[in-house]
Amino acid sequence: MKLHFLVPKVNLSRLDYTIEFLAQTLGYPYSCVTSLKNLNKNEVIVSYLSSDAFLQHYNHPILNIFNSQQMYQLDEFEQTINLFRWKDTAIPILGRQLTQREKEQKRAQSDKKYLAINDTFWTTQIDIFANIFYHLSRYEEKWRHFAEETVSDYSTSVLSRYQNLTVPVVDLLVDYFNELIRQRVLYNGTNLVRVLPWPNGEELGLALTHDVDLTRAVSIKKRITAAGKSLFLQLSGKGYKKRELWKEIHSQDARVWAFPKILKFYHKKGWHATFFFLAKRVEGFHYRYNIKAKKYMSLINELREDGHEVALHSSLKAFDQPKMYTLERKKLEAITSTPCLGVRQHYLRVKYPRFWKIAQSAGFRYDASLGYNFQPGFRAGTSHPFYTYDFNEDKKLEILEFPLTFFEHNLKNRQENKMNPEEIISELIKQVSIYNGLCMVLLHPSNYLHPPYDKWWDFTIQCLEKQQIAVATLSGHYHWLTQRKQIRFDFDKKEEARSRITVVKPADLKLFSIEIVGKGKLLSDKDIIYTEKKGGFYTLSTPKSRFSISLNSPGS
């Protein structure tokens, strides 16, 4: 069975985008329909019609998502905020909700998850779809005029105002929607199959990333000053030895050039990470490094040989000079001899959705800049990677966003952070795990050996090792998500007690996991090797790109 979304007949790109995010995040096969014709009453139907439009469908089993009719009136949508509680967590919900009069016209269900008009017609009290679109599109940042505002000023976010930046509110709404779907499936007495977020049914994905900003502790300016001082002292007969000076400088540099120890760590773990390199040598008065120098070319080759990813850390001024993205990407690709798929803007100095459009035009497949410099947490309300949207031109973009969960600098104790860094790390990883999202951590290599950052990094690794994690580079996760998106199910119910499903997948996808939602179970089949796990999860392994699985029907 599929999810069928009953939508208005007019083409609404924002609604299509939101439905696609919901269905793909949960892994459900789905279709959008404008009529219930040819759909039987066992189908799972989700309506997003206005109150007047869905009255004619009362005799069908429907889960109706309350439509505030404000998805295209988001300025008005922002003016109304109420708190919605789900699983002991209260989050801000924007937009109009069911009025008291509308509630009185409906019979309240005892568990308060939804309101029921009759036994089969259920409706939510909040506009889930408009709220999800609002956060993912970053519409609340539309007023920002300077890129600096996006890296420093998080206080204007509705999530910050309600102390919800450490709660992935979009993921919570997706979970709420999923729970309603599960209830609907059980009520209808049918089965749904969904692809789990991670290949082997892991609790969360993990992407460890490193921005290569500083590669020496002592700047060129300080080196020249120190050399002059040494020469002056020698000429004045005070006996200051130049060798001691350079030994001290070398010792400081060795603590910043931590790559040997970082690579040793990853080799021992068997993990792979993404390293973002600057391709521009000079930024203002700062000399960074020359990636064409033998030292850096050797480092980049070593990283790639060990299975790590090299991506672009676009320069500080690139945001104001968009052509720089293409030039810097090509410069990096000339060294790696492989396509550069991803970008993270230096200092996270970007504005959304403008940056997504720029990055897409520059040939990148993903962005990893979505976070605040001075506040950890979920800037767009989600821990899941998501395809982006340009609300100015009202169209979906093809670039994938990997939200940044936290990094060492935004963990520092500030007045706004009531928890200490260890508590923040633990809480954020817990939240990502609850909603099976992706935890993306950033640590600058220059801080790898410096307290307190080394202590926070070790604590992060300890917390993550307690979870079932799918570790990969960002390009690795991008490849997996692209493959997962291509998995298709064709349903053919041949007999009452047995459902036959044809699965079509990419040829190079060897392993993925599914969940049977409902009372059905996966039956043995000669075409497929599977491992059954707790909670109705199955990990499938097959080299075939097209094969069949069988489910027993509920009650058989």
Nearest to 304 by CA among 279, 278, 340, 330: 340
What tens digit of pLDDT does each residue of 109-122 get?
Answer: 444 567 766 667 78
Mean pLDDT, residues 468-485 taken together:
97
CA atoms within 13 A on the CB side of 332: 29
Residue 389, both tokens: 């949207």
CA-to-CA distance for 493 and 15, rounded, in angstroms? 31
CA-to-CA distance for 552 and 93, rounded, in angstroms? 40
> Which amino acid does the sequence have at 147?
A
Which residue in the block uniquely carries the two structure tokens 């060129």?
Answer: 220
Domain ranges within the chain, ordered by starting residue: 3-192, 204-214+257-480, 216-253, 487-552
- pLDDT for the residue numbered 335: 95
Radius of gyration of the chain (CA): 26
- pLDDT for the residue numbered 408: 95
Mean pLDDT, residues 426-437 taken together:
97
Residue 158 phi/psi, 5-degree rounding, is -60, -30
Q: Does residue 538 sit in helix, strand or coil?
A: strand
- pLDDT for the residue numbered 60: 74
Q: Would you say 174 and 22 are in contact if contact means Cβ atoms under 8 Å apart?
A: yes
Phi-psi group of 518: left, alpha or beta (phi > 0 → left; psi -120 to 50 → alpha; rest → beta): left
> Which amino acid does the sequence have at 49?
L
Q: Would you say 219 and 287 are in contact if contact means Cβ atoms under 8 Å apart?
A: yes
Which residues make Cβ contacts (< 8 Å) with residue 191, sequence separation at least 6?
1, 185, 499, 516, 517, 518, 519, 520, 551, 553, 554
Secondary structure (DSSP) of 22-45: HHHHHT--EEEES--TT--TTSEE
Q: How confident is the model at residue 177 (pLDDT cuts 50, 70, 90)?
A: very high
CATH code for 3-192?
A: 3.40.50
Mean pLDDT, residues 276-296 taken together:
89
> What letter would DSSP give residue 385?
-
What tens digit of pLDDT does each residue of 349-397 get?
Answer: 888 999 999 999 999 999 999 999 889 999 999 999 999 999 999 999 9
CA-to-CA distance for 2 and 10, rounded, in angstroms? 22
Bridge pairing between strands 438-442 and 469-471: unpaired
* Angle of helix 128-136 versus helix 169-188 axis, rounded to 10: 150
Residue 62 phi/psi, 5-degree rounding, is -135, 140
Mean pLDDT, residues 294-306 taken together:
96
CA-to-CA distance for 325 and 321, rounded, in angstroms? 8
- Give pairs for 178-185: CB < 8 Å, separation 24+: 178/26, 179/113, 180/63, 180/113, 180/114, 180/122, 180/124, 181/3, 181/26, 181/28, 181/44, 181/46, 181/63, 181/517, 182/517, 183/113, 184/44, 184/61, 184/63, 184/122, 185/1, 185/44, 185/517, 185/518
> Which amino acid does the sequence have at 237?
G
Residue 38, both tokens: 């040819």
CA-to-CA distance for 481 and 476, rounded, in angstroms? 9
Which residues make Cβ contacts (< 8 Å) with residue 201, sequence separation at least 6?
468, 513, 533, 537, 539
CA-to-CA distance for 368 and 460, rounded, in angstroms? 19
> Which amino acid does the sequence have at 175?
D
Q: How confident is the model at residue 524 (pLDDT cuts 50, 70, 90)?
A: low
Q: Which CATH superfamily is domain 204-214+257-480 in?
A: Glycoside hydrolase/deacetylase (3.20.20.370)
**3-192 and 204-214+257-480 agree in CATH topology:** no
Q: Does residue 61 sit in helix, strand or coil?
A: coil
Secondary structure (DSSP) of 389-430: EETTTTEEEEEEE----EEGGGGS--TT--S-HHHHHHHHHH
Check the CA dihedral 331-335-341-345 and report its sign: negative
Q: How confident is the model at residue 200 (pLDDT cuts 50, 70, 90)?
A: very high
CA-to-CA distance for 267 and 374, rounded, in angstroms? 31
pTM of the model: 0.92
Mean pLDDT, residues 479-488 taken together:
97
- pLDDT for the residue numbered 110: 41
Q: How confident is the model at residue 319 (pLDDT cuts 50, 70, 90)?
A: confident
Q: Would you say 359 and 323 are in contact if contact means Cβ atoms under 8 Å apart?
A: no
CA-to-CA distance for 429 and 426, rounded, in angstroms? 5
- pLDDT for the residue numbered 247: 64
Bridge pairing between strands 62-64 and 44-47: parallel
Q: Has residue 178 got a pLDDT over 70?
A: yes
- pLDDT for the residue numbered 92: 95
What tens digit of pLDDT does each residue of 218-253 get?
Answer: 555 555 565 556 655 565 665 555 566 656 656 666
Cα separations in angstroms, 323 against 290, 328, 358, 370, 389: 20, 9, 9, 21, 21
CA-to-CA distance for 25 and 114, rounded, in angstroms? 22
Mean pLDDT value across the chain = 87
User: ∠ CA(399), CA(279), CA(350), 5° rounding?
Assistant: 45
Check the CA dihedral 133-134-136-137 and report its sign: positive
Q: Would you say 278 and 289 are in contact if contact means Cβ atoms under 8 Å apart?
A: yes
Q: Around Cβ 284, how many Cβ atoms within 10 Å?
A: 8
CA-to-CA distance for 400 and 369, rounded, in angstroms? 11
Q: Around Cβ 79, how many Cβ atoms within 10 Å?
A: 10
